[in-house]
Amino acid sequence: MMLPALAVLAAVSVVPFISLIVMSFSSVKLLGGVGMTLLGLGNWTAVLTDSQTWHAWLVTIEFFVLAVGMEMIFGTIFALILNSLRRARSIAFSLVLLPMFLAPITVGLLGNYLLDPTIGLYSWVLRVVGLLPAGHSLLGQQSTALLAVATLDAWQWIPLVTLIVLAGLSSVNPSVLEAASVDGAGYVRTLYSIVFPTIAPVLLVALLVRSMDAIRYYDIVKITTGGGPANASWVISLQLNEKVQATSLDGITTLIGQASVIGITMLVFTTIIANLFVRVLDRRGLTR
């Protein structure tokens, strides 16, 4: 029963994977029909000795820490707030979820609009409270661009973490909380000693799901800063994208081979996280 699906999945995953590896050792031309010539390790040395590759990875890791960090922290805080609501919890929950349904490209464009230095609503607010000089844009400055992009990503995906943590919170035993409060435990103490240990596995799942996605998506960065200013938000997928569109000096062969090398390094990164994910599930007996 699994055969038809696995055959299709193999066609759309294994075949591209193998050609990715082959291409990483070849030079690929697209003009006048697709053609490949084996090149050996040329692409690999070209990519690994390019300082821009390393810069892109560094930016990616910064983005990763900023975005996933904000999502985990605020996602948990949002869930705790919603969970302690007595009234209107359902409607508040639905409203908080909304950003998740937007296309990432729409999130990026909306970010451009709200942070526009002349007509942006949020730029205006920041200007009025004196946090932003006139004519400045958070996305346009080297010091704040990456943070702004990461915040846009967080705005969209905090709801996902909230959703997952809320599900975890529903498994916290109310009578244990009651007992803790009778024993005189404060809110913070209760969180640390009872709530967090209970929802730890769920937090880990949220962290892994978001980690894989943070490397995966690039729509928001592409449409807002395009990697700039001065490469301040140049994440690895933009570097790969640039290599796909570039042609080498002879004007015929492409740099797709180099792009493939970058693709493989990204895959390795995600594979490690996916491995952790499955291992976490394994411990909970899900994949058995």
Partner 1 sequence: MSDTAVTAKSYRATIAGVLAVVIVLWSVVPLLWMLLTAFKPQTAINTSTPVLAFAPTLENFIRLFTGGNSIGPYILNSVLASVGSTVIAVGLGTMAGYGLSRWKSRAKGNLSFWIISTRMAPIAAVIVPLFVIFRQFGLINSVPGLIVAYLTFNLPFAIWLMSAFFAEVPTALQEAAQIDGCNKWQAFRLVVLPTTLPGMIATAVLCTVFSWNDYAFATAFSGPESQTLPMSAGSLITQTGTDWGQLCALGIITVLPMIVIGLLVRRHLVTGMSMGAVTGE
Q: Are 109 and 100 in contact (CB under 8 A)?
A: no
CB 142 to partner 1: min, Å? 22
List, as one string, the DSSP characters of 196-236. Answer: HHHHHHHHHHHHHHHHHHHHH--HHHHHHTTT-STTTT--H
Of the candidates 132, 146, 164, 195, which one interacts with partner 1 according to CB under 8 A?
164
Taking each helix axis from N to C end, the angle separating 256-283 and 196-216, rounded to the nearest 10 degrees, works out to 160
CB 21 to partner 1: min, Å? 9
Question: Helix, strand or coil for residue 49?
Answer: coil
182: tokens are 């009778």
Closest CA to 233 of 152, 143, 100, 153: 143
Strand residue runs (E) in the chain: 26-29, 35-38
CB 111 to partner 1: min, Å? 8
Q: How far apart are CA 110 and CA 21, in angstroms?
A: 38
The pattern of x and - marking residues 169 through 188 that bind partner 1 according to CB under 8 A reads ------------------x-
By CB under 8 A, residue 119 contacts partner 1: yes
By CB under 8 A, residue 13 contacts partner 1: yes
Of the candidates 198, 231, 248, 270, which one interacts with partner 1 according to CB under 8 A?
270
**Which amino acid is residue 85, in one-letter code?**
L
Which is nearer to partner 1, 25 or 124 (by Cβ)? Answer: 124
268: tokens are 């390795």
β partners of residue 206? none
The pattern of x and - marking residues 144 through 163 that bind partner 1 according to CB under 8 A reads -----------x---xx--x
By CB under 8 A, residue 92 contacts partner 1: yes
Contact segment (CB under 8 A) with partner 1 among 42-50, 65-73, 141-149, 258-266 equals 258-266
Size of the site for partner 1 (CB under 8 A): 96
Which is nearer to partner 1, 49 or 118 (by Cβ)? Answer: 118
Which is nearer to partner 1, 121 or 252 (by Cβ)? Answer: 121
By CB under 8 A, residue 213 contacts partner 1: yes
